[in-house]
Amino acid sequence: MACLPDHKILAYLDDEITSIEQSLIRDHLLICPGCRQKADRYAQLHKILAQPVNSEPPAWLVPQIMKRIYAETPHYTAIAALIAASFIFFVTWIYIYFDFSSSSLIQALRLTSDSTASWLVNIIKTISVIYTFVQAAFKASHAFLSMLLNTLPGTTLVIAFVLTFSGLLLFATKRWLLKKAGAVKK
């Protein structure tokens, strides 16, 4: 029998071959010193890799890794913005969980206590107005683009149109407000 290729020796050591092949390879390893030496080296390597040595990293390495993982500690404004966004998301989720058509959540908050829940009711009303406006703008843009293109536009096209139109509207409103305040000079 010719010398064994490396993949056969590795398969023998990992018990990934049939019992007939195992007996043939075992017999070959008994008579061939070169293959036996390869098999011994692979067995040692397998033993070393099966139980890796755990060692502590050098002291100078830990701060460098931590700087890369956490490049900069967040600023208080970022934390405050995250808390505010989480609160708005939570209130929106509560509002969506209840129904949109009847203002049952707003009515329930009004019934509990006008003084404590009035700010929450105002936030929910604002979210409701924004949701209604976005939904109406999406429907109007879809109808306008359908009429303009004589085909049904995709959602991505309508969203891009709504965002572009909203950006232009915000820019024009800002310009008008600045002009009204006398801040824009010709």
Q: What is the pTM of this model?
A: 0.30
Q: What is the pLDDT of residue 93?
A: 67
Residue 150 class from Cβ within 10 Å (0-12 exposed, 13-18 middle, 19+ buried)? exposed
Q: What is the pLDDT of residue 41?
A: 92
Provide the 10 A C-beta neighbour count for residue 162: 16
pLDDT along the chain (186 residues), means of 10: 84 88 88 91 86 80 80 68 78 62 56 57 72 75 72 69 76 79 59
Q: Give domain limits for the chain.
A: 6-50, 119-181
For residue 30, the number of C-alpha atoms closer than 13 Å in the C-beta half-sphere is 6
Q: What is the pLDDT of residue 96?
A: 62
d(CA 152, CA 166): 21
Q: What is the b/e burial string over 81-103, where b = at least 16 CB atoms within 10 angstroms of the residue's CB?
A: eeeeeeeeeebbeebeeeeeeeb
